[in-house]
Structure 1
C-alpha cells in the first residue's frame, strides 16, 4: 500500500522542479534579463540587486560586473526584448539621478513605446513633402537629434552619432535641391531609407520609429519646446515641466482634441522592486 502511494506521488514530485530557474533566487524567472557579454539569463530584479551589491563593495563604483555563473565581465543587463528592440540597464548607473537625462529625455523615450495616433496628419507630413519644404534647412535639427539620440540610447555622449545622422540628412537636402525634378514620393522614400540605414547600427529595432519621429519634427516647423508641447497635448499627457510655456504655441492646422494615448510598453532603466 505504501509502495502504491509512493508510486503515485513520485511522478508528480519529479516534474515539479523548475527546469530553468533563476541562478540567483532559484525560482521561476520573472522579466527575462541577460548579461550583455555572456548572455546568462536571470530575473531582472535579481541581477540588478546582484550588480548593486557588487558595486557597493567598491569605493569607486565599477563600470562592469562579473557574471555570477561564468565570471565574464559585463557592462549592462539586457531586458524588455519585444522581438525587435530591447532595453539596457547599465552597471552602476542610475538614470533617475543622472544630470543629462532630463524629464524631456524621459518623455521622448516614452514616446517610442506609445502609439502616436494621427499626429502625422496633424503636422501635415504629406504636405511637408508635397510643398518641397524638405529642401529647407531646419535650424533646430541638430539639437533635436542630440536629445532624441540621447533619449533612445540612454547615453550622454552621442556626438559622433548625431554628426553622422545630421550629415546624411543635410546631404540629402542639398542633393534634393540639385535634382528637383524627382517625384515627391521618390524623395520621401529615399529620405526614409537613407536615415534608417544611418541610424540602424545605433538604434536597431527603433530605427523606423526614429525616422517617423524625425519626419514629425521636420514637418511641424516648430521649435523643440513648441513641438514638445504639441506632442504632449496630442497624447493627452500631463508633464508640467514640459507642458508649461510663457504663452500658448500655435498648433499645426487641423489639430483636434482626443482621448489621451496610453503607452503600450514603458520600461525605463531602473530597479523596479515590487516588494
Structure 2
C-alpha cells in the first residue's frame, strides 16, 4: 500500500471514529471492542466477531462484499489482519477479549445464554433488521413459510428453547408457559406463523402486542436456519445503522 493510500485510509477511519461512539457491532450487538473495518468496504465490527464470522463466511455481514482483511488503526498506523487467517490467530491476543463471548467449551454455555438474552433484547427494543447476504446489500432478510417444515419443527427442543427465551425477553418474565403452548399448538394445527390474525382467545398477539410480527418473522428465520440457539446468536448479524 502506498503512503498516499495509507494516509487516505487513515483519514477515512479517523472520520468514522469521531462520529460512531454509540455504534454497536452488527454481529454481537454489543459496544465495539478492538474496533476494526472490513477491507475494502469499511464497515466496522469487533475484531474477534469479524474474525469468527469470516471463519464461516468470508464476506462482509452488512453488504456481502468479499472481505480480504480486517483493518485496525493502532497509534496512527494501519494494520491489516488477513481474514483467511492462520491457526495462531485463534490463540492470539485478538481472541482474548471476546473469548468469553463465543467460547465453544460447554463451560461457557451460561455466558452465551446471558449474552444471547442481551442481544435479543436489543433486537426487539430497537426493531433491528437481520442483514441479507446479496450483491445488492439489502438489509432485510425475507423468510418463506413452509407448512411442513413449521409443523415438524415447532415442537422440537431447539425451537422450544428459542421460543421460551424470546418470550421471556419480550414479556420480561420467566412465566411464559401459556404463551409457549399457544404458539406451538397454533402452528401444529395450521402450519403457519400468522399470530397477528389469530382470533382465538386468548390469542398470541394479545400477549405480544406490537412485537407480534417481528417475533413470528424471527421465529420463522430461526426455524429455517437449522442452527441451534447459541450458533444463531453468534452468527446471525443485524444492521445497527440508522
User: Smaller-chain TM-score range?
Assistant: 0.3 to 0.5
TM-score w.r.t. the length of structure 2 is: 0.42
Q: Which has the larger radius of gyration?
A: 1
TM-score w.r.t. the length of structure 1 is: 0.37
